[in-house]
Amino acid sequence: MASRLPLPSGYIIKGYTLGEVLGGGGFSLVYLASSELSRQKVVIKEFCPQDLVTRYPDGALKPNTPLAESAFRHGFERFKAEAERMSEIRHPNLIGVNEYFEANNTLYMVMNHEAGRDLRWFISKMAGTLDWDFLQRVFPPIGDGLMQMHERGVVHLDIKPANILLRTSGQPLLLDFGAAQALDHDKPFGSFQTLTHGFAPPEQYLDGELGSWTDIYGFAATMYNCMTGNPPPAALKRREGEPLEKITVTRADRYPYTLLRTIENALSIDQHERPKDMRSFLALAFGSRASETSQ
C-alpha cells in the first residue's frame, strides 16, 4: 500500500503552489511552496503520519485501517494544538507559524522560508574552529526564544544543529516545531514522538516527564557538538556507561570555564542536576551577554 505519498509539485492548495519536498519526520511532510498572490516562498508542513495513512488521487489523506483511525485523529488534534500555540509566539529567532488550515482531511502549517545554512554545515566545515565569539552570536538569541516558548508552556523537543539556521544576515533561527508539545496536555504524541540520538535526553526515550530541562539538554548537546565536532553519545548508551568528553578539561584553553561547566551540568543524565530553566542556563553560560540578548 502506498502510504503517505507526497502531494505532487505544482499542486495548488489554499492559494499556495507546492514545489519540492524538503523533508519530513514520523508524522509530517514539509514542502517548499510559493504564494499565488505575492509569489513569496514559504514552507508548508502537512500532518501526514507514517504508516497510518494512504494518499488518494484527489490529494486527501485517509487512515489506512480502522485501527489507524484513532491514532490519526489523536495525532491530528495534537498537531492542531501545537499549530495554534506556535502561531501565538512571535520571536525574531524562532520560525513563526503564519497560518494553519485544514484541507485534504488533514492540517497544514505555513511558515516563512528563510535562506541560509544550518549549523551542520558549519560544524562539518569548521569543526574545531567554532570559537567563543561564534557561540555568543548564535546561542543566546536562540535561548531567549526558547525561554519565551517555555514561559508559554511549549517545549521544542528536537533541538539539534540541523534545526538551527544561520540566515544570510548572520542572525540565527530555530526551525522545525514538528515535535513541539504543549505541557498542559495529558499525553504527548506518543508513537509520533521525534527524537535525535545524541541530542535527546533519557526522558524522551523512557516516557519520562518532559519540560524545559529536556530542551536544555538538546541545547547544550548542540553547543557541545559545535565545540567538539561530534554529538554526545546517545543518552541510553551514556546510561550504560559510555563516557562524555570532559570538556572542562579538553576545551579549557578555548572557552570560558563557566560555559563549559554549565554545558556539562546541562548534559546530566539526571534531569534534576541540569539548570532549572533556560534563563538560569543562559545566565550561567553567557552572563551579561545573555541579559543583553533578552532586552
Tell me: domain 12-112, CATH 3.30.200.20, correct?
yes
Instruction: Judge whether residue 10 has pLDDT over 50.
Output: yes
Model pLDDT, residue 123 = 95
- What gap in Å lies between CA 257 and CA 228, rounded to an integer? 15
- Please report, in angstroms and rounded to a whole number, the separation of the first and last CA atoms in the chain: 53
- Tell me the average pLDDT of the chain: 89
Sequence-separated (6 or more) residues with CB below 8 Å from residue 50: 3, 4, 26, 27
Model pLDDT, residue 184 = 66
- Record: fold of 116-293: Transferase(Phosphotransferase); domain 1 (1.10.510)
- What gap in Å lies between CA 105 and CA 258, rounded to an integer? 51
12-13/116-118 β-pairing: unpaired
φ/ψ (deg, to 5) at 173: -145, 130
Instruction: Judge whether residue 176 has pLDDT over 90.
Output: no
Nearest to 51 by CA among 70, 61, 64, 66: 64
For residue 77, count other CB atoms closer than 10 A to its CB. 12
Average pLDDT (48-66) is: 92
- The ranges assigned to domains in the chain are 12-112, 116-293
pTM over 0.85: no
Q: What are 202-246's pLDDT values in tens digits? A: 999 987 889 999 999 999 999 999 999 999 999 999 999 999 999
